[in-house]
């Protein structure tokens, strides 16, 4: 396995694990509160739709000329990666609430209870719909990442395998603990995924647009750490700015009191 393929596998695994954790929380909340059978049916149908999308779009993407593919995929990965990274930086610096699976579980459970009583022997459309939507929406991001990374490296099977292992690991963990996976360092993983998507997007986008990287694929070994360091520097700057803002505000509040 080449370095780029290893990077592909790690990026896809981390991204899919994060999305799977969020989907598992939704399914656990609805299944636990209302109907496991209907929830699992929703999960099954959503997985079928996602598999069909992957099967339909995968060959279409890989049929594109390599430079067109790299510009399109690099551009999309960059837009996606920069959004992930921006949110991760804001979370790490305290400007945005951290994603909390316990809170998400409580919120979904409360909504499921508020939807009214359910007969456990009957099909429950609420459980089906919420589980279907949750898995489909989180899964779409997984499909996008698998297809873009896989098509670019002409190795969709490797990307799909990394995604499959991640989803399976999260499902097994969810079944084992039978509760939201709060111990998964989700916010740190999102930070890492943002860095990886942004770095690969920069690399492939530039190549597709006609640039030649000094050192070829080895340029990624510089792009990834530089992106990480810049993102961490932004977190540090924002934390310092917040701390200074609080220090300035505290005497003003005291003076007003």
Partner 1 sequence: MRRIEGFIQFLWDFVVGDDWRIAAGVVVALGVTALVADTSLATWWIMPVAVLALLGASVWHAARSR
Q: C-beta of 94: minimal distance to partner 1 in Å?
A: 10
Q: Which stretch binds partner 1 (CB under 8 A): 47-55, 119-127, 147-155, 234-242?
A: 234-242
Handedness of CA 3, 81, 92, 172 (dihedral sign): negative
What number of chain residues touch partner 1 (CB under 8 A)?
38
Kindly write down the DSSP assignment for every residue of 189-236, as one continuous string: HHHHHHHHHHHHHHHHHHHHTT---TTGGGGHHHHHHHHHHHHHHHHH
- String marking each residue 139-168 x if it binds partner 1 according to CB under 8 A: -x----------------------------
Please, what is the minimum distance in Å from the beta carbon of residue 92 to partner 1? 11
CB of 195: closest distance to partner 1 in angstroms? 10
Write down the least CB distance from residue 244 to partner 1, Å.
13
Q: Does 232 bind partner 1 (CB under 8 A)?
A: no
Dihedral of alpha carbons 21, 27, 32, 37, sign: negative
Rounded Cα distance between 162 and 9, Å, is 6
* Rounded CA separation 143/202 (Å): 20
Least Cβ distance, residue 192 to partner 1 (angstroms): 15
Residue owning tokens 């969810």: 174
* Using rule CB under 8 A, residue 226 touches partner 1: yes
Q: What's the rounded Cα separation, in Å, for the pair 29 and 103?
A: 11
**Helix segments in the chain, DSSP class H:** 3-33, 36-62, 66-92, 101-114, 125-152, 156-177, 186-208, 220-256
CB burial of residue 1 (10 Å; 0-12, 13-18, 19+): exposed
Stretch that binds partner 1, among 5-13, 14-22, 122-130, 218-226 (CB under 8 A): 218-226
Q: What is the rounded CA–CA span in Å between residue 230 and residue 234? A: 6
Residue 74 or 180: the one with the smaller Cβ distance to partner 1 is 74
Residue 205 near partner 1 by CB under 8 A: yes
Show contacts with partner 1 in window 28-87 (CB under 8 A): 71, 74-76, 78-80, 82-83, 85-86
Find the binder of partner 1 among 211, 218, 221, 243 (CB under 8 A): 211
Q: How far is the CB of 230 from partner 1 (least distance, A)?
A: 5
Nearest distance, CB of residue 223 and partner 1, angstroms:
7
Positions in the binding site for partner 1 (CB under 8 A): 71, 74-76, 78-80, 82-83, 85-86, 89-90, 93, 95-96, 140, 198, 201-202, 205-206, 208-214, 219, 223, 226-227, 230-231, 234, 238, 241
């Amino acid at each position: 396995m080449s370095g780029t393929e290893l990077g592909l596998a790690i990026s896809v695994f981390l991204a899919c694990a994060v999305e799977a954790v969020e989907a598992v929380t939704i399914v656990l909340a609805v299944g636990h509160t209302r109907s496991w059978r209907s929830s699992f049916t929703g999960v099954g149908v959503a997985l079928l739709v996602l598999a069909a999308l992957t099967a339909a779009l995968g060959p279409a993407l890989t049929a594109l000329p390599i430079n067109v593919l790299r510009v399109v995929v690099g551009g999309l990965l960059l837009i996606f990666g920069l959004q992930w990274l921006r949110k991760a930086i804001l979370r790490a610096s305290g400007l945005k609430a951290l994603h909390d699976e316990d809170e998400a579980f409580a919120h979904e459970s409360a909504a499921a209870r508020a939807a009214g009583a359910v007969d456990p022997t009957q099909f429950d459309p609420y459980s089906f719909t919420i589980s279907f939507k949750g898995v489909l929406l989180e899964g779409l991001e997984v499909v996008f990442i698998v297809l873009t990374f896989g098509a670019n490296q002409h190795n969709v099977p490797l990307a799909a395998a990394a995604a499959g292992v991640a989803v399976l690991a999260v499902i097994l963990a969810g079944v084992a603990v039978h509760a939201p996976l709060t111990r998964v360092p989700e916010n740190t993983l999102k930070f890492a995924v943002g860095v990886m998507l942004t770095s690969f997007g920069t690399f492939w986008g530039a190549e597709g647009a006609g640039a030649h990287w000094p050192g070829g694929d080895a340029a990624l070994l510089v792009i990834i750490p530089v992106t990480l360091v810049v993102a961490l520097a932004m977190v540090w700057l924002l934390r310092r700015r917040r701390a200074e803002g609080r220090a300035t505000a505290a005497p003003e509040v005291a003076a007003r009191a």
